[in-house]
Structure 1
C-alpha cells in the first residue's frame, strides 16, 4: 500500500523528514513532486503536506479514455451505488492551460463512460464535499501518468487534518487592501481549512496584535477583540468601540474567563509560541485558536513534533499546516476540547 503526499511549495525535503520521523519508509521520484510513504502518520498531522492521497494507485494511461477508466474503477471498487462522492481532478505538472484542458477532457470522458457502465453512480455525484461524501482524487503528474485515490467519508473525517477539502490543498490568498497588512490572509485561510470562523459577538484575544491585521478581521466580523502588544495598533482600530487594547507582555497575559478565540501571530522563537499554545489549552482559556509558529531557518522544524504529541488530546479538532499564506511559518489551529 502506498500513500502519496503533495508537499507545500519548496517543502519536499522537509515533508520527507517529517514522514521519516513519524516512522514511515519514504521514497521520492524526480519525475513528480509527490513524496511517497508506506504508512499514514499517527496522529494524522503533517505540517509540510499540502494534500494527501491515501492508498494511492499509480496510473499510467496514454489516452483520455484510459484515465477515465482508471477513475471509474476506483469508484466502482471502493463505493456502493448509494454512496455519495465528489471528484478532485487536477494537473500537477507543467504551466499554462494544457494540463487543465487535459483534465477537462478526462472529466468529460469519465462522465460519459460512467453513464454507460453504471449510470446510477452519477446520481450520487456531489458538487461539493460534506460529512457524508467520499473524495475521489486524481492528480496528473504528466499527461500519461499520475495517482488516483479514493477516501471514504469516515476516513475523510479521521484524516481531515491531512486530506484537504480543497483541490490540491490550495487556497488562494485573500485580498483586502483596507487591512493593516497581508497577514490577515492567514486568519481567513485557517478558518476555511478548519470550517469555523470568527463570528459576531464572539470574544477574541489577539496576542502580538500590532499593526492589527488579525484584530481587523475580528472587528470586521462584529466580534469583540482584546488586542495585546507593546505597540499600538493602527489608529482607526485603536478608536474602534469593539477593541480593548492592552499594552503589556503578550506572553504574560491571561484572560479573566475563557474566550471564544485565541489568535496569535506574534514574532517569537518557535518554542515560546509552542509553550504559549500548550499553556492556554491546558488551562482551558479558549475554545478555538489560530497560532503561528515562526522559524528563522529549518533547523527547528522538528519542534513541531511536540505539538503533534501533546495537543491532540486537548482538542476536538487540531490542524498543523504550512498555509498557502505562510512564509517560513506553520499555523496551529483548531478547537479545544469541551
Structure 2
C-alpha cells in the first residue's frame, strides 16, 4: 500500500465533463491568492486535484483556497491531508485509522464518497457499507467528536484508493458529494423546477431565504412556460407574472397567484418594480446577462436568479465574461454569485442583486 502525505493538495468535486472548467477556475482562484500549483484532472472523472507548488503552503492558505462558495464549477473543495493507494481489500479501515491518528484531529462526522460518474455510482453500495463501518471504528477510537468544527471526507475514486480530506463545517457543503438530493414534486409542470429549488438552497443562506422569500412578495418569471420555475415561487406564496407566449400549466393558474402575460421576455417590462426576477430562457448567455443587468441597474427588481446556457467551447471564458458584464453594470456593490448546480447541464445558475 502507498501512503503519501499531501498537505498541499485540494480535491474538487465537479460535474463530469467540466473538469477543464473546474481546473481553470481553481488555478485562477489560487493565483489570485498568491498560491501556485498544478492541476491533475482526467476527462469525465468528476473531480479535479490541485497540488500546490508554493513552498510550504500552510493550512490557512489551503483553507482560503478551498472555498466552494467562491467557485462556480466545484460542488465541493476540500484540503486533502493523505492520499492512500492500493488499500488492502480485506482491511481498509486499519491503515485509514492509522493516518487519522497521525493527523491527531477529531471530526463531527465522516462522509464516504465517490465521484458523480457512472463508475462512481457503481461504488455507491461500497460507500454506504464502508461508511457505516468507518464511522463505527472512528467512534470506538474516539475520533468522532460532535462539537468538532471539521468533517472527514473519505473520497474514493476507486475502491482501493482514497483521499482523506477535511471539510470546515462553516465553509464546505454538508451534502454528500456536494449534491442536494431533491425530490421532484409530482404536481410541478416540468423537471426544470428542481433547478430553481436547488438555486435557492445553494446560492442563498438560511437567513437570506427567510428575509428575501416572504409570502406576498412579487416576482416575474421570464420564459415561464409551462411553469417549472413559477411553481417554486408559488409554493413559497409569491405573486408571479409569468411572461411567455407559450401555455402555462392549468393548476398553477388556478392558484390565484399567477398572471400569465403572452409577451417576449426580452421586451416586456413591469409597470412598477418587483422583488424577484427569475429567468430560464434558452438564449445566448451574454444577451441574458445584459438583460438581467438592465433590470437590476434600472431598479425593476431587487433580486434575480437566472440561467446562462454555455457554449460548447470556451465555457469558462464565457462564464467570466457574462459575470464581469453584470458586475460592471451593477457597480462596486454588486452581489453576484454563480454555481453549476447538480440539476444544471450545459449551463450555470446565478444570483444577483445591487447591494
TM-score class normalised by the smaller sequence? 0.7 to 0.9
Q: Can you list the C-alpha shifts for 1:96-152, whole angstroms capped at 9, x where unaligned?
A: 51232222211111111126xxxxx62415xxxxxxx54443312334432233344
- Greater alpha carbon shift after TM alignment, 323-332 vs 67-76: 67-76
1:114 maps to 142
In 2, Cα distance between equivalents of 1:300 and 1:281: 25
Query: Per-residue deviation at 1:215?
Result: 1.0
Query: Per-residue deviation at 1:241?
Result: 2.0
Q: Report the secondary structure of 1:56's partner residue.
A: strand
In 1, Cα distance between equivalents of 2:299 and 2:97: 50
Unaligned runs of 5+ in 2: 1-7, 53-61
2:47 maps to 34
Q: Does 1:279 align with 2:298?
A: no
Q: How does 1:1-338 map to 2 (within 5 A)?
A: 1-20=8-27, 22=29, 23=31, 25-28=37-40, 33-37=46-50, 38=52, 40=65, 45-53=70-78, 55-60=79-84, 62=87, 63-71=92-100, 74=103, 76=105, 85-92=108-115, 93=120, 94-114=122-142, 122-125=145-148, 133-152=149-168, 156=171, 163-193=172-202, 194-195=204-205, 196=209, 198-309=213-324, 313-316=332-335, 318-333=336-351, 336-338=353-355
Query: Per-residue deviation at 1:258?
Result: 4.0
Q: Report the secondary structure of 1:188's partner residue.
A: helix
- Indicate how the Cα distance of structure 1 residues 236 and 43 shifts in structure 2: closer, same or farther if over 3 A, else same: closer
Query: Per-residue deviation at 1:33?
Result: 4.5
Size of the aligned set, in residue pairs, is 310
Check conservation: 2:286, 2:322, Cα contact below 8 A.
no
- Indicate how the Cα distance of structure 1 residues 122 and 19 shifts in structure 2: closer, same or farther if over 3 A, else same: closer
Check conservation: 1:74, 1:150, Cα contact below 8 A.
no
In 1, Cα distance between equivalents of 2:354 and 2:150: 26
In 2, Cα distance between equivalents of 1:310 and 1:300: 15
- Greater alpha carbon shift after TM alignment, 169-178 vs 307-316: 307-316
- Indicate how the Cα distance of structure 1 residues 123 and 188 shifts in structure 2: closer, same or farther if over 3 A, else same: closer
Check conservation: 1:232, 1:238, Cα contact below 8 A.
no
Please, what is the CA RMSD of the aligned residues?
A: 3.2
In 1, Cα distance between equivalents of 2:167 and 2:129: 25
Q: Can you list the C-alpha shifts for 1:175-220, whole angstroms capped at 9, x where unaligned?
A: 1222221111111111221333744212111111111111122223
TM-score normalised per structure 2: 0.74
TM-score normalised per structure 1: 0.78
Check conservation: 1:87, 1:136, Cα contact below 8 A.
yes
Check conservation: 1:257, 1:285, Cα contact below 8 A.
yes
Q: Report the secondary structure of 2:142's partner residue.
A: helix
In 1, Cα distance between equivalents of 2:275 and 2:152: 35
- Indicate how the Cα distance of structure 1 residues 236 and 325 shifts in structure 2: closer, same or farther if over 3 A, else same: same
Q: Report the secondary structure of 1:325's partner residue.
A: coil
1:160 maps to none
In 2, Cα distance between equivalents of 1:289 and 1:75: 45
Query: Per-residue deviation at 1:272?
Result: 0.8
In 2, Cα distance between equivalents of 1:307 and 1:42: 22
